[in-house]
Structure 1
């Protein structure tokens, strides 16, 4: 995994929607599950949200803590 992706998850903010302005790694898991069912958006944001979904699904949030 590219470490830059983890850094982006701790720095980038959600650009729109219910959680607009929230840092991606702070998005609640049910929101990510909803995106997983609906389909992640195209592009970099979709890739980051899908990665975050996998991190939370597998209990790997500890990977993000040192980067915060």
Structure 2
């Protein structure tokens, strides 16, 4: 299954909407914070899906892929 291009572009440009890391790009959240969400349970809805994707991306060391997408595909 190929990742959805539009989802990855949106993921690259999405910022945390609340909390200690409000306004920080999801990909730039500290790893321990994303792992904490993984253990606690991700929020419901789109944000939860995105945080779960960020967890998988960080787990596999692919952060630079998302940062490259953010640089090369401007926000719509």
- TM exceeds 0.5? yes
8 Å CA contact 2:27–2:67 kept in 1: the answer is no
Residue 15 of structure 1: CA displacement? 0.6
Q: Specify every segment of 5 or more residues in structure 1 that has no aligned partner in the other structure, as ranges.
A: none
Match of 1:36 in 2: 38
Is 1:18 aligned to 2:7, yes or no?
A: no
Q: Specify every segment of 5 or more residues in structure 2 that has no aligned partner in the other structure, as ranges.
A: 71-76
RMSD of Structure 2 on Structure 1 (CA): 1.1
TM-score normalised by L of structure 2: 0.81
Count of residue correspondences: 68
Question: Hey, which bits of structure 1, 4+ residues long, moved more than 6 A?
Answer: none
Residue 65 of structure 1: CA displacement? 2.9
Q: In structure 2, which of residues 10, 14, 19 is the aligned counterpart of residue 8 of structure 1?
A: 10
CA radius of gyration, larger in: 2
TM-score normalised by L of structure 1: 0.90
